[in-house]
Amino acid sequence: MEFVGSHILSVDQFDRSDIEQIFAVADDMQPYAHRTRITRVLQGAILSNMFFESSTRTRVSFGCAFNLLGGEVRETTEIKSSAIAKGESLHDMARVLSGYSDVIVMRHPAEGSVKEFAEASRVPVINGGDGSNEHPTQALLDLYTIRKELEDRGDAIDGLRIAVVGDLRYGRAVHSLLKLLALFDNISVNLVSPPDLTAPLDSVRDLENKGHRVETFQNLEDGVNHVDILYVTRTQEERFPSQEEADRYRGLFRINQTIYTEHCEPNTVIMHPLPRDSRAAAQELDDDLNANPNLAIFRQTDNGVLIRMALFSLILDVADGVHDHAQPVTWFTARRTPRTLG
């Protein structure tokens, strides 16, 4: 695809060479994301970061990614503090914000809303998650993490064995990830969920039509055997018709160190788009896995900054100029071990 000036709304836009291009630029971003060098390649550019649903890492990492390239970030974080609460349409908001900014990231609870917004925007729009539909940048950072974790063991994405566990019906990160995986060769997917929370039929058919192996499980222990990656998700309780219904699924699938030791291969990588639900009744990914070196959840979040920097620089056409006039960092950085307080 042509990245310059494009919206990023769905992973359907990408082919394998686009993904390779994004990953190559993301690799290049490491010294800036790790704060060993500074680049100002987006100096003067403004990002409107519009999050009309709860978010910590997606919102902050988009903002950090833009700042790390030298740009400025303006943010709105709730429907009630935006003019949507006064009845403003997505069309009008898009026309207004595209007069103020060079690129816009939007998260919104309604499926298709970010596309509708993008159609009226005069600047590129990136989908930060639209209802239970898609979350393209999460899927890219997940795939980038999978690639890195496998590369460290001498393996590639082709031939991957993955178990995807939890709420596969409403989980937009899973929807986008399954579509991206379908672009590779010889993937084997275990879909592990309660019967009412299975993955969309379209995604399953797409994988099967492309020759991948898909198996569905309702039993956690059976589904997590013989996989390279265990991708666990939260019950998306905000998408259920009622809290009572969401509560029925809470805590059904819990991965802890005992389950991992007894049922997974010894070096299975554990991933989760986060946030994990750490409340006692949920714990789909138990805190007792925190010391497990195969727990890659915080490597995923770090990789999110690289992927988002790569997308901004491709869309705004500065990917080739990132290293020009880059400078070393002279101040104390968070990447050095902080002194103990007191």
| Binding-site ranges for ligand NCD (CB under 6 A) | 57-58, 129, 135, 138, 172-173, 234, 236, 273-274
- Taking the C-alpha atoms of residue 195 and residue 216, their distance in angstroms, rounded to an integer, is 9
Of 143, 129, 141, 140, nearest to 49 by C-alpha is: 129
Comparing C-alpha atoms, which of 176, 145, 126, 139 is closest to residue 27?
145
190 contact partners, CB below 8 Å, separation of at least 6: 161, 162, 163, 164, 215, 216, 217, 223, 224, 227
Minimum CB distance to ligand NCD, residue 336 (Å): 27
130 versus 228: smaller Cβ distance to ligand NCD? 130
* Nearest distance, CB of residue 189 and ligand NCD, angstroms: 19
Task: Decide whether 71 or 273 has the Cβ nearer to ligand NCD.
Answer: 273
Kindly report the backbone phi and psi dihedral angles of residue 154, in degrees, each rounded to the nearest multiple of 5, phi listed first: 80, 15
Residue closer to ligand NCD by CB (options 124, 131) is 131
Quick check: bond before 275 cis, omega within 30?
yes
**Minimum gap (Å) between residue 272 Cβ and ligand NCD:** 8
Closest distance to ligand NCD from the beta carbon of 196 (Å): 18
Return d(Cα 20, Cα 7) in angstroms, integer.
Answer: 18
Nearer to ligand NCD, 45 or 166 (CB): 166
- Output 289 or 318, the one with its CB closest to ligand NCD: 289
Q: How far apart are CA 58 and CA 63, in angstroms?
A: 9
Minimum CB separation of residue 56 from ligand NCD in Å reads 8
- For the purposes of burial, counting CB atoms within 10 Å of the CB of 304, is it exposed (0-12), middle (13-18) or buried (19 or more)? buried
CB of 108 or CB of 172, closer to ligand NCD: 172
Q: How many residues does the chain have?
A: 342
**Between residues 212 and 231, which has the closer beta carbon with respect to ligand NCD?**
231
Taking the complex as a whole, the smallest distance from the CB of residue 43 to ligand NCD amounts, in Å, to 28
Least Cβ distance, residue 270 to ligand NCD (angstroms): 15
Pairing state between β 46-51 and 103-108: parallel
- Range list of β-strands (E), 71-152: 72-76, 103-108, 125-130
